[in-house]
């Protein structure tokens, strides 16, 4: 064996494994005095290169996402403060995503300007596949309403939707009008008489009020959701728009009554036994609710986007995350959307919300 160079021996072994010739037969061709050695070596090298190139191309075509391996922590910017619905959803997602993907998730809270500050902050991050943004339609509304000149619609791109929350119209349990039809009829006959609490005059709750009641209600904005619901329960205001999670405690305690859920199909809520009429059954298209999803910025590698979508889908489907959704009444309607479906939904919501709101206020 001392008569052979080390690289020649490696070629002997590889070629023997990939041919019908025995290793000993090939060795005979590689003696220093064999004149066909150089020719044979050249042929072997060409064949190996072609083989490896073909194998690599096949793997790339079949499993592009599998080529991306998480090497560092994933950073997700939350453009709202800690403790809210966006934060609790992201915290639960991060925990389950870590178990699915094997990589840690770092959450950065950058609140301000209705979420625009956090979105702009996320845009300063490198587009290397490790930085993403949590967002909802409220970012779009900041642009549509003229609250910001920033081009939200073209600056961030939907990757996947995690949760599709809904809104409820609630009133006090002892209110004189207990159905949507009664409240709507009274509001038509007495425009501006009924006061409706909500969190934003330019938000999704305002879009629901506008669609369900037109301009017949006096809309009263609140800074704190629980204060708003206390005022409803105590008769200070007549009704309010809120999420199931916000109202669950007072609903279970029997202090609030649900007039209607802003959903396409009937829903049930933990701790609330009464039947809940839904907007879809009544022919009212006020289905707006926070769709909390992950967004990416221009330049993010395609392989990383596909890998994130793959692991995020497995995360949302995991038993742990589904338990969180059920406990928080966030499973009232399907939440998950992949990149293609989410882009379509994002486009449709931009058009629909633009039709409802104009710069400076609701139409």
Q: Locate 15 and state its tokens.
A: 């070629």
Residue 31 lies in domain: 6-62
> Last residue of a domain, which of 282, 307, 338?
282
> Last residue of a domain, which of 282, 302, 319?
282
Residue 36 lies in a domain: yes
**How far apart are alpha carbons 262 and 289 in whole angstroms?**
8
Q: Give helix 302-317 / helix 85-101 axis angle, nearest 10°.
A: 100
The tally of domains found in the chain comes to 3
**Quick one: 231 and 205 in the same domain?**
yes
Whether pTM > 0.85 for this model: the answer is no
Mean pLDDT lowest among 199-203, 257-261, 277-281, 330-334: 199-203
Residue 268 lies in a domain: yes
> Last residue of a domain, which of 30, 62, 94?
62
Instruction: Indicate if the pLDDT at residue 39 is higher than 90.
Output: no
CATH of the domain at 177: 3.40.190.10
Q: Residues 163-187: pLDDT tens digits?
A: 999 999 999 999 999 999 999 999 9
Q: What is the pLDDT of residue 137?
A: 93
**Quick one: 150 and 245 in the same domain?**
no
Residue 223 lies in a domain: yes
**Quick one: 312 and 240 in the same domain?**
no
Which position has the token pair 């845009």?
123
CATH of the domain at 131: 3.40.190.150
**Quick one: 57 and 117 in the same domain?**
no
Of the ranges 50-59, 99-108, 113-122, which is most confident? 99-108
Provide the strand spans (E) within the chain.
Answer: 74-78, 105-109, 131-135, 157-164, 168-172, 195-198, 218-221, 239-242, 256-261, 291-296, 357-358, 361-362
């Amino acid at each position: 064996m001392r008569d052979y160079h080390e690289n020649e021996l490696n070629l002997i072994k590889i070629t023997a494994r990939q041919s019908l010739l025995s290793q000993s037969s090939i060795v005979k061709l590689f003696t220093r005095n064999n004149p066909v050695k150089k020719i044979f070596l050249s042929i072997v090298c060409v064949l190996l290169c072609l083989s490896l190139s073909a194998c690599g191309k096949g793997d790339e075509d079949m499993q592009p996402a599998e080529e991306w391996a998480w090497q560092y922590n994933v950073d997700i910017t939350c453009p709202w403060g800690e403790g809210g619905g966006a934060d609790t959803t992201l915290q639960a997602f991060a925990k389950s995503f870590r178990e699915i993907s094997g990589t840690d998730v770092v959450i950065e809270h950058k609140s301000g300007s209705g979420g625009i500050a956090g979105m702009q902050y996320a845009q300063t991050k490198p587009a290397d596949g490790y930085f993403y943004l949590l967002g909802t339609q409220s970012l779009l509304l900041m642009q549509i309403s003229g609250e910001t000149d920033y081009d939200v619609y073209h600056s961030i791109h939907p990757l996947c939707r995690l949760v599709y929350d809904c809104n409820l119209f609630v009133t006090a349990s002892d209110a004189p009008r207990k159905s949507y039809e009664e409240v709507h009829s009274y509001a038509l006959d007495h425009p501006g008489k009924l006061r409706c609490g909500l969190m934003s005059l330019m938000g999704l709750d305002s879009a629901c009020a506008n669609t369900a009641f037109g301009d017949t209600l006096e809309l009263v904005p609140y800074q704190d959701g629980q204060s708003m619901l206390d005022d409803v329960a105590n008769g200070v205001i007549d009704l309010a728009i809120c999420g199931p999670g916000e109202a669950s405690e007072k609903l279970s305690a029997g202090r609030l009554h649900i007039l209607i859920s802003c959903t396409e199909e009937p829903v049930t809520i933990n701790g609330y036994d009464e039947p809940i009429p839904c907007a879809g059954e009544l022919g009212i298209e006020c289905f707006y609710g926070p769709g909390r999803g992950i967004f990416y910025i221009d330049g993010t590698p395609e392989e990383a986007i596909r890998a994130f979508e793959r692991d995020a889908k497995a995360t949302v489907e995991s038993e742990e995350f589904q338990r969180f959704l059920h406990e928080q009444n966030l499973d009232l309607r399907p939440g998950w959307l992949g990149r293609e479906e989410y882009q379509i939904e994002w486009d449709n919501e931009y058009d629909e919300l633009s039709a409802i709101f104009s710069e400076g206020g609701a139409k």
